[in-house]
A and B are shown apart, each in its own frame.
Chain A
Amino acid sequence: MRVAVVVFPGSNCDHDAYHAFKHILGVPTTFVWHKDANLEGADAVILPGGFSYGDYLRCGAISRFSPIMRVVEAFAKKGGPVLGICNGFQILTEAGLLPGALVRNRNLQYICRDLHVRTESTRSPFTRQLHAGQVLKMPVGHGEGCYYADPKTLKRLEAEGRIAFRYTDPGGVLSDEWNPNGSLQSIAGVLNETGNVLGLMPHPDRCAEKILGNDDGRKLFESIIAAGGKR
């Protein structure tokens, strides 16, 4: 099992993801520069958080044309697991690897705090070790995290079990009050059709070890490792 963390100009959580896999979980992990043309034999790919290309034009709009994204796309099409965290999620939607888009938070503010999400789907290699309804506490840090998709797409995501996480209260109860950014249906993370691409706004990489006071995020990474890079 090898993990590749893609580094775009402006990525700033690349080291968090690298640290989580390499040092906390002891998995061979490499950085891959956005201009590289291969994933160095990785079995799973992480698109980290940050402000790639300064978020110019739209978050993720320019990064999606980085040379590495052609490789990531081919890897995903073959069933390889790809995890996009925060800016990585935005890049995946811009690239069309995930449906919908992430727009400005409804309160127009940058939100940086711990939130709770409920596990909605355990069919992906990232969530298999979680159980449906399991609540995780994870931090977010974003200005454009309001998930939008047209009604037809939302219906389809729901029907196909492709909503991975929803924002809830600490007890796992849905309410508008606990929807931090105005995301439609409180969506915090979605899967692609085949379940091997996950994008989410919360940061499992920032809560993957006890010394940080929270290791809920570790469960996602352990799921990927257990799946061994397979669907």
Chain B
Amino acid sequence: MGLRAKVYVTPRKSVLDPQGRAVSGALHSLGYGEVEDVRIGRFMEVRLAERDRGVAELRLEEMCRKLLANPTIEDYRFEIEEERA
């Protein structure tokens, strides 16, 4: 059994997110006035042929910095879990 990573990439606070703003407006017009802000990002599932969590973390950190997120405009975080059979 390998590991599975859930990677979340979101626009940084300082970056305009027009999609999020449009969705937030739509929720308001549906009557969800409590919505303060919506930020739209990207969710990725990465399956790994790797058993060692420590190694997986280091490798994922690198993948995020190199390709999965652009640190100029995006933040990222990930969770690693055991892949269920």
Contacts and interface: CB of A to CB of B under 8 A. Distances in A.
Contact of A105 (B15, B18, B67, B68): B18
Given A103-B73, A108-B22, A65 B16 contact: no
Interface stretch (A121-129, A146-154, A194-202): A146-154
Interface in B5-64: 11, 14-16, 18-19, 22
A149 B70 CA distance: 12
Contacts of A57: 67-68
A148 B19 contact: no
A205 to B, nearest CB: 26
Question: Contact residue range for chain B?
Answer: 10 to 19
A101 B16 contact: no
B19 A108 contact: yes
Interface in A55-113: 57-58, 61-62, 65, 93-94, 99-101, 103-108
B72 A149 contact: yes
A149 to B, nearest CB: 7
A93 B70 CA distance: 10
A101 B19 contact: no
A229 interface: no
Given A61-B70, A65-B67, A149-B72, A103 B22 contact: no
Nearest to A104: B18
Interface of A: 57-58, 61-62, 65, 93-94, 99-101, 103-108, 146, 148-150, 182
